Amino acid sequence: MYASPHPSLRPHPINNTQLDFEESIRNQDEQGILRTRDYFNTLIKEQIDAGIKPSRIVLGGFSQGGAMSVFTGLTNKEKLGGVFGLSCYLLLSDRLKNYTPEDFPNKSTPFFLGHGLEDEIVPHQFGALSVEKMKAFGLEDVSFKSYPGLGHSADPDEIEDLEAFLNKTIPPEGDGQTTAGL
């Protein structure tokens, strides 16, 4: 089973600009991010209530969807199966501790971030710095892959790496029920 959320569109602080990472952090819509995280958490709870094990739930997305998936995964109270974000960066990284459960259930959850070196919307350095911040925060299993020649999009190499991540993270089991938000 796949759940694919479509939250309402919100202004993005870095669209069509080349802001530096710290500037983009200061200009984030914190309340909007938290509302969207709550929406994602509602979707996760619905899947769990429907009988999906949290360890079989993978959050993921591209750009804003990836950023929200990474933030939700880091701050979720359930131990999830995995999280991925493509062409994204870590939201509210300067305040992450304020929103992370004390027991940090997703500390060892696998995270995969992929980013094009030629991304003109979310610069590659934002993704790389985000991974550094995630590791410094204590995340134990985060991988980052750069894609030469790739802009703010996905390509077959990135999708192949994502598929390998998903197969490793949530291998088939009994009933094969898997939920991923893309």
Query: Which of 91, 78, 92 lies closest to 44, judged by CA?
Result: 78
Residue 173 CB neighbours (<10 A): 11
- Annotated catalytic residue, options 63, 87, 93, 130: 63
Active-site choice (152, 153, 157, 161): 152
Q: Using CA atoms, how far apart are residues 167 and 142, in angstroms rounded to an integer?
A: 16
Catalytic residue among 69, 119, 124, 130: 119
119 carries an active-site annotation = yes
Q: Where are the alpha helices (DSSP H) in 3-155?
A: 21-26, 30-49, 64-75, 96-99, 124-137
Tell me, yes or no, if 63 is annotated catalytic.
yes
115 catalytic residue (yes or no): no
As annotated, the active-site residues are: 63, 119, 152
